[in-house]
Structure 1
Amino acid sequence: MFSSTEWEECKFSSTPKGIASYKTVSSVQFWSSVGQCLKVFSPLVKVLRMVDADWKPSMGFVYGEIKVAKEEIITSLGGNEKAYKPIIDIINKKMKGRLESSLHLTSYLLNPYYHYKDPQLQYDPDIMNAVLDFFDTLLCDNFEMQRQVVTIDLPKYKKKVDRFGRDLAIKNCRVNDAEFDPASWWGLFGGTTPHLTKIAMRILSLTSSSSGCERNWSTFEGVHTKKRNRLEASKLNNLVYVQFNANLMEKNQKRKDRNMEVLLANDSISAQEWIVDVDEVDPKTVNEDLGTDDNQAPRESPRTRELSDEDFESECEEQVFEEDEYESDGVQIMEVCGED
């Protein structure tokens, strides 16, 4: 934009703010800083999108994915401790007391995607202390159940005994894709540890964000309006149920067709829905400037058109004027004004 002739002819190019903007955008240091920001925030955006998604419960992945994000940030910054240490300290500070609770760490250990990939997790003292605290809190009044889960069931899972050691169980949790669900995995291979399986399925089926509830509330707001404020509770719930799930099915189908996450950095081009004026911007010119094809061209926003009375007249409809005469149908109508 700043290298075009339109900017030179623009009245803002000579203003102090315009000159400052030009110097900022043309600065190499500015774009270097932008690159550093992308290296830091791209892994964090992936975690946020995973937590905010509706297609998989995220409780079993929060701690593990944040750990992966921190490793990616350190790698992207070249292992320079002076560069990554302030960032990692901020992330750890935000996690403390929120995202490293006994529930998060227990779900992290019971998620086979992480446990089978790194068997050394069971020897981490922080994780095992959190697991013991979790079961002590959950089963505080049942010592016999605690003994069964902690000393009998949990070692079978950690040592991959019985069904946990099958090739199908090991291969089925190698990839964290749309088909992998840790709760379903426990339902298939945790038959020999029924008590631990029941607990694992419950905590691995939890969400870690209220975004799904908020979207449901938005659907309620769209259905229950001022004109439809007399809907019965049962009918209102049914309408919201149908509409929300229909939108969810359509969203999941679009995601499968695209096979990508539109808010990630590598797919950002497909997420840009530019609102442009049709008369001012030529799509071909935009494609040449951006180096894109027609599929990535900016979307044209429909322009509002003024309506007149002629727009509501049908072509096959005959106009009726006051002077037209009508054929009588033989019915006489008497006008009565007042009393006789």
Structure 2
Amino acid sequence: RIMNLCVHCKLGTAFLESKEASTDAHTILYIFNYVVECIEKIGAENVVQVVKDNASNNMGAKEMLKGKWPKIFWSSCATHTLNLMVEAIGKLKQFGPTIIKAKQMTIFLYAHHKTLSLMRSFMKKRDTVRPGVTRFASAFITLQSLVSKKKELRAMVCSDEWEACKHTKTVKGKAANTTIMSRGFWKNVSLCIKARFLSHW
């Protein structure tokens, strides 16, 4: 794991340094010592705020930093906070199954050359956004992308080309077909997207 240090000032944001720390235990003390080392390089008098995500080790380092430099603020990363909010929304019973179905459907479409080619043909070579592994918010971005292509997806699964494709006869293919044609699925997708936008207000 690489730890990157960026500095923001009135001139903009600049990359300062990175540290290869994949073999190190990221304990509270480890994080604290690294932050202290970086602050001392810049000069504590030049630092107003430290921004990190909400991991428990970072929160512990925050308390230690307050003891050393009470005038330096430690703030939680807004992006990470929003991602945690979206992740919590995605775990709700009314949203979780919908996100899982969307993932399964997009994975199926991208898993085979024929289905991928067919999808791109109906979508004028535009791709759906596939769910990422690390950032839960990407699932909601995928849902938005799917909604914008709902008409094309439905036309695709009703086409002769889809019917002739051997992959669509499999269990996963039939599940993808059912998902795309399900009114309930699209209704829940819309609810998921609305919930995501509400969480940002």
TM, length-normalised to structure 2: 0.27
More relative contact order in 1 or in 2 (CA 8 Å, sep 6+)?
2
Larger strand percent: 2
Bigger radius of gyration among the two: 1
